[in-house]
Structures are given as structure tokens and as C-alpha cells.
């Protein structure tokens, strides 16, 4: 719908970096860490800019708070998550993160009680304990003169918080660690797939794809046992 609006007479297109034939801006996005490249583009093109991808696909990066409220809250019925979001479906299924419309609204109502303030407060102790353990690791790194891989540590922290708060009463510490490690790897693969030139790559019998399937199976076995 937004693309149609841009084609109306008198409507100026959103700015953005010039892409290459067939691949669009994909190679530019792969020159460094994804978020750092986007930050550089934001500094050049402003709060709303346009990116192109293989297959004549177009994406709009929005950072302005008012525009985000318009897209995500006030006028969300006019915006969809996009077909490439489905690359995460093997991991998270057709849940609230990927579903749309009435099905999404039903799921949202079912999940709402879990995100009320009293429920979130009950999880605080688990979150604090997880952070304390991370800080203890950092202290050990400092004593040994070892560097801290902050990005990896933050990912591990996020995954441990999620697995502990969702499954703390049913999973052992070893199972929590297994789910977290597999989930971290799967997210890295999904992120890489989102930047592939040809989506068919994710269908090939490569070592990474086989490990991806094994990781999904391992998580399912722990959660659904």
C-alpha cells in the first residue's frame, strides 16, 4: 500500500541509497554489522528511507517515533510484516511474531495477561540472577586478562532470561543452556538468510542448513517432551 502511495502524482519517493541492478542495496548492507550500516544510512537519509532488494522487493526503514506509532499502532491494519519474515517460521512457527489480522488479534488477547505489570514483576528475580551470573563471568575474564565479547554476551543474556522465565519450573539448568545455545545459533542463521542473494540457498543440503534443522529439532524435543 505504501508503494502505491509513492506512485501517486505529487508524492515524492522516500530517499535512500542507490542500489545495483538485480541485487539492490543488499551488498551495501553486508559491508559491516547490519545495525551499524543502517545507522550510517539513517545519518545520510533521515528518519524514513528506502532500500531495494533482489526480486524488485522494497523495504522502508522507519526511525521517527511518530511514524513508528503510526505504522505499529494507529494505522497498523495497512501494514504487513512481509513474506521474508517467514524465514523465521521454522523456528517460531505461526505465532504472534509472524501472524497477521484476526489470527494475530486472537493470539494477542491470549498472551496479554502474561505481560501485565504484576506478572512481569514476578520475573524480576530470575532476570537479576541471570545478570549477576553474567557479571561474575565478566569479572573472571577481567582477572584472566581476557577480552569480553559484548555482542555475544548480550545475546546469551537475552536467551538465558527468556528460557529461564518461560521454562524455569520445567527445565534443568543443562536444558536451559541447550535451548539458549541452539536458539542463538538459529537466530544467527535466520539473520544471514535474510541477507542472501538467492532464497533457494536455504533449501540446499548444506552443513549450516542441516545444523539448523537439528537445532530446531533439539529445541522442540526439550519444549514438547
pLDDT digits (tens, 9 = 90+) for 78-123: 888 777 777 888 877 777 888 888 888 888 888 888 778 888 888 8
Cα-based distances in Å from 144 to 4, 117, 141, 150, 176:
58, 40, 5, 16, 27
Structural domain span for residue 162: 123-223
Strand-pair partners of 88: none
pLDDT in tens, 192-216: 777 666 667 777 788 988 999 999 9
Asked whether residue 111 falls in the same domain as residue 59, the answer is no
Asked whether residue 74 falls in the same domain as residue 93, the answer is no
Asked whether residue 68 falls in the same domain as residue 137, the answer is no
Asked whether residue 90 falls in the same domain as residue 151, the answer is no
Where do the H-state alpha helices sit in the chain? 2-6, 26-29, 34-45, 65-69, 89-92, 101-111, 117-122, 124-143, 150-167, 173-193, 207-223
For the cut 90, the answer to whether the pLDDT of residue 52 exceeds it is: no
> Is the distance from CB of 88 to CB of 98 less than 8 angstroms?
yes
Domain count, the chain: 3
pLDDT in tens, 9-47: 666 778 999 988 888 888 888 777 777 888 899 999 999
Asked whether residue 68 falls in the same domain as residue 134, the answer is no
**pLDDT at position 7:** 52
In whole angstroms, give the CA distance from residue 6 to residue 218: 45
Amino acid at each position: 500500500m505504501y508503494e502505491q502511495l509513492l506512485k501517486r502524482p505529487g508524492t515524492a519517493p522516500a530517499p535512500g541509497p542507490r542500489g545495483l541492478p538485480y541485487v539492490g542495496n543488499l551488498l551495501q548492507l553486508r559491508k559491516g554489522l547490519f545495525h551499524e550500516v543502517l545507522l550510517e544510512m539513517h545519518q545520510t537519509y533521515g528518519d524514513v528511507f528506502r532500500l531495494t532488494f533482489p526480486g524488485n522487493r522494497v523495504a522502508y526503514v522507519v526511525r521517527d517515533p511518530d511514524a513508528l506509532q503510526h505504522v505499529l499502532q494507529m494505522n497498523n491494519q495497512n501494514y504487513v510484516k512481509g513474506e521474508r519474515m517467514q524465514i523465521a517460521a521454522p523456528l517460531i512457527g505461526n505465532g504472534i511474531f509472524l501472524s497477521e489480522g484476526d489470527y494475530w488479534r486472537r493470539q494477542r488477547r491470549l498472551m496479554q495477561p502474561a505481560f501485565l505489570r504484576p506478572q512481569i514483576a514476578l520475573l524480576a528475580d530470575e532476570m537479576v540472577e541471570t545478570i549477576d551470573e553474567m557479571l561474575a563471568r565478566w569479572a573472571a575474564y577481567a582477572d584472566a586478562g581476557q577480552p569480553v565479547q559484548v555482542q555475544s554476551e548480550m545475546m546469551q543474556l537475552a536467551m538465558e532470561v527468556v528460557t529461564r522465565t518461560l521454562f524455569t519450573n520445567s527445565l534443568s539448568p543443562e536444558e536451559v543452556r541447550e535451548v539458549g545455545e541452539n536458539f542463538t545459533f538459529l537466530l544467527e542463521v535466520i539473520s544471514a538468510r535474510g541477507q542472501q542473494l538467492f532464497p533457494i540457498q536455504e533449501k540446499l543440503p548444506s552443513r549450516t542448513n542441516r545444523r539448523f534443522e537439528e537445532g530446531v529439532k533439539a529445541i522442540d524435543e526439550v519444549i514438547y517432551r
